[in-house]
Amino acid sequence: MKVNPRRLFLASCVALITTAMVFSIRGDILDALGTDFHLTKQQTGLLLSPAFWGFTVSILIGGSLVDFIGMRKLLLLSSGGYIAAVLAIIFAPRSAASAGPYYTQPGFLILYAAMLTLGLSQGLVEGVINPLCATLFAGEKTRKLNVLHAWWPGGLIVGGLLAYAITKALALDSASVPASTATFGWQIKLAIILVPAVVYGIMIFGQEFPATERVAAGISTRAMFSETLRPMFLLWFGCMWLTASTELGPDQWVGSLITNLAGMQGILILVYTSGIMFVLRIWCGGALAHRLTPLGLLTASSALAAAGLFLLSSVRTPAQAFVAATVFGVGKPFFWPVMLGVTSERFPKGGALLLAIMGGAGNLAVAFILPIMGNWYDNYGAAAAFRYVAVLPIVLTAVFGGLFFYYKAKGGYKAVRLEASES
C-alpha cells in the first residue's frame, strides 16, 4: 500500500480539530459539570490540571516514540483515548454532596482519570501530526504547518459555536432550567467530540504511514538527541516559551479583560481573533514566510503582538476593543506554526524529538504564564496584566530581528535538507 499524503494530512487536520474542540467545549461545560458533581471552583481547577500536564507529558513522550512505535498506532491510541474519556465523563456516577470527601467519590476519580486521558490524547495528536506534516511536505514545511495549525482556531470556533447553539436551543442559560435538562445539555455538548474523534480514527485505519524524515535519511538516534544541545536550538527553545506565552496566555484572560474594561461580552473578541488566526494561517502564512523569510515574519509578528497587547490594555469601548484585537489578532497567528517550521527546517536531524520538545515547551509556558497573569490581574488590575505581558513580544522583536540580520549576513535564511547518506 502506498502512502496517501492528502488523506493523512486531512486526518491530521481533523485530529487537531478534535483537540481544539476539547478545549473549547470543556471550558464551556465546567460550571454545569461542577454543579452536577458538587465541586467548588478550586476542586474544578484541580480536576482540570491533569489535562494540561498530561498534554505536556504526552507530547514529549509521544514525539520521542514516533519512530519506534509508529505514527499510525499513536494516532489510533489518541482517537481511542478521546472516545473512552468522553464516554467516561458522560457516564461517571454522580454522588450526593454529603457522600464524603470529593477525592473519595468514584465520580470524581473517574472524571480525574478521564481528564488526564483527554490531555494525553491531545498530546499524542500534537506529537504525531507535526513530524508527519514535516515528512509529507519536506519541501514546504512552514507553509503546510501553517495550514495544518489553522485548524486549531478553526476547531475552537466550531466547538464554541456548537456549544453556544446547544445552550440556546435548550435554554441552558435560563435561570429556571431544570437540572435534568442542564445535565443533558453538557452531556450532548461533550458527545459532539466523539464525531471528529471517530472520523480521524477511521481515516487512518489501515493506512500506510511514511518513515520520518530523520529515519529516511539514516540519522541515528544518538545524532537526534545531540541536536538538543546545539546553542542555536537552545535559543530557539527559549523563544518558544515567550511566543507561546504571548499567543495563548492573553487568550485565556481576554474575555474577562474586555468584559471589565469595555463592557461587552469578551468571548466575542476571542472568537473574532480566532477567526483572524484561521484565515491568516490558511491563506497567508506560507506566502509571508517566503516573502519576509520566517525570521522576518516572526519579527513583524512580535512587534504587532506587542502593539496589540498595549492597545488591549487601554480599551474603553467595544469599538476600541475590536481595533486592538485586530492588531493583536494579526500579530499572533504565525508564532506556533512558524516556530515549528523553523525547528524542522534548521534542525532536521532532531526529527520528531525536537518538534515534541518545542510543543512541550509551548504548553508548559502557558501553564506558567496563566497564574502569573492572574496574580498581576489580582494585584494591579486587568489592564496592567496585559501591559506587563506585552514586554515578552518586545523582547522577541529584538531577538528575532537580530536573527534576521544574522542569517542575512550569512547569505540568507535557508532550510537544511537531509540526504539519505547522512548519519
User: 308 and 203, same structural domain?
Assistant: no
Kindly state the greatest CA–CA separation across the chain: 70
Helix 106-136 × helix 71-91 angle, to 10°: 150
Q: Where are the beta strands (DSSP E) in 31-81?
A: none
User: 252 and 192, same structural domain?
Assistant: no
Model-level pTM?
A: 0.84
The residue among 196, 211, 226 that closes a domain is 211
Name every residue whose Cβ is closer than 8 Å to that of residue 182 and which is 6 or more positions away in sequence.
Answer: 32, 35, 36, 172
User: 265 and 117, same structural domain?
Assistant: no
148: which 3 cell numbers? Answer: 495544518
CA distance 275 to 333: 10
CA distance 287 to 306: 23
Q: Name the residue type at position 304.
A: L
User: 187 and 142, same structural domain?
Assistant: yes
The residue among 177, 211, 245 that closes a domain is 211
Query: Does residue 417 lie within any of the structural domains?
Result: no
> How many folded domains does the chain comprise?
2
Q: Is 181 helix (H, G, I), strand (E, B) or coil?
A: helix
Query: Does residue 347 lie within any of the structural domains?
Result: yes
User: 129 and 24, same structural domain?
Assistant: yes
Query: Does residue 34 lie within any of the structural domains?
Result: yes
Query: Does residue 334 lie within any of the structural domains?
Result: yes
* Structural domain boundaries, residue 131: 1-211
41: which 3 cell numbers? Answer: 471552583
Average pLDDT across each block of 10 residues of the chain; the chain has 423 residues. List them in order: 92 96 86 85 78 84 85 96 97 75 81 93 93 90 91 90 89 86 94 98 94 86 92 97 91 72 70 89 84 94 96 88 92 94 93 91 84 85 89 98 95 82 49
**What is the sign, positive or negative, of the torsion defined by CA atoms of 102, 105, 109, 110?**
negative
User: 200 and 269, same structural domain?
Assistant: no
| Cβ(388)–Cβ(312) below 8 Å | no
The residue among 170, 195, 211 that closes a domain is 211
CA distance 360 to 343: 13
User: 101 and 245, same structural domain?
Assistant: no
User: 129 and 175, same structural domain?
Assistant: yes
User: 379 and 271, same structural domain?
Assistant: yes
Query: Does residue 221 lie within any of the structural domains?
Result: no
Name every residue whose Cβ is closer than 8 Å to that of residue 35 and which is 6 or more positions away in sequence.
Answer: 182
User: 291 and 145, same structural domain?
Assistant: no
User: 43 and 172, same structural domain?
Assistant: yes
CA distance 353 to 66: 8
Query: Does residue 391 lie within any of the structural domains?
Result: yes
Name every residue whose Cβ is closer than 8 Å to that of residue 89 and which is 6 or more positions away in sequence.
Answer: 33, 110, 111, 114, 115, 190
CA distance 300 to 289: 11
Task: Specify the residue for cell string 505514527.
Answer: 71
Query: Does residue 41 lie within any of the structural domains?
Result: yes
Whichever domain contains 195, its CATH number is 1.20.1250.20
User: 285 and 240, same structural domain?
Assistant: yes
User: Could you tell me the CA-to-CA distances from 300 to 148, 318, 331, 391, 414 in Å, in that order?
Assistant: 21, 26, 7, 15, 19
Query: Does residue 95 lie within any of the structural domains?
Result: yes
